[in-house]
Amino acid sequence: MLRVAIDGPGGAGKSTIAKLIADMFSLDYVDTGAMYRAIALKVSRAGLDADDEEALKQLTSSTKLDFDGSRILLDGEDVSDLIRTPEVSMWASKVSQRACVRKLVSDLSSHMAQTKSLVMDGRDIGTNVIKDAEVKVFLSASSIVRAKRRYDQLIQAGKEADLDSIREQIEERDEQDINRDLNPLTQAEDAVYLDTSDMTIDEVVEFISDLINDAEVK
């Protein structure tokens, strides 16, 4: 089994890197953030308060999450595109603080990691979901670099963007993800820390593929 756990703050490039690594080593890729985002979408559609644990318990007990390749299905509906908005990002960061939401996603994620080799990214993969992952990486970058990357993506896609407000949102989300009580964003003791601020995508991929090759030799 080869389980590669990639954790780090929002906008550090985890999903881009994780997908490339998964392709390179013919592994499945699981984006755990997409599951929190899908639940957040359901919570906001239902008009619920993200702090109302009882209401969230009811909602999560009747929620079905599935992956169809790289698409995520929420109760059978493909919501892959709908979950990539700034609003859903903030909601996901909020609902992911709640115990019932974390349990649903953690249980599903650990189940997937028990049965197959994969690359999984998120905030608590190395510290909680796959504590015994063969390779653990903590990817980071300064908030200004992460905001600039996001800004460039939006501009390239022909959308309007404001660098300062993107940076503020990124920092607010970091604050919430790092300071929550349950499985906060933190580097696992045995994870390799990588600051990607001054690295190209190819350099990051090369660094992680070297770690994987070393782990496979052992």
Which residues would be at the binding site for ligand DC (CB under 6 A)? 10, 32-33, 36-37, 89, 92-93, 96, 122-125, 173, 177
Decide whether 110 or 197 has the Cβ nearer to ligand DC: 110
3-state DSSP helix/strand/coil % of the chain, to nearest 5: 50, 15, 30
Q: Which amino acid is at 120?
A: M
Instruction: Using the minimum distance from each CB to ligand DC, give the nearer residue, 63 or 124.
Output: 124
Which three-class secondary structure state does DSSP give residue 25?
coil
Q: Which of 79, 96, 58 is nearest to 185 (CA)?
A: 96
Provide the minimum distance between the beta carbon of 188 and ligand DC in the complex, in angstroms, as a whole number. 12
Strand partners, 122: 7
The Cα 39–Cα 96 span in angstroms is: 9
First-last CA distance in the chain: 13
CB of 123 to ligand DC, least distance (A): 4
Tell me how crowded residue 123 is: count the other CB atoms within 10 A of its CB.
Answer: 25
Of 22 and 92, which has the nearer Cβ to ligand DC?
Answer: 92
Name the minimum Å distance from CB 13 to ligand DC: 11
Smaller CB separation from ligand DC, 98 or 213: 98
User: Least CB distance from residue 158 to ligand DC, whole Å?
Assistant: 22
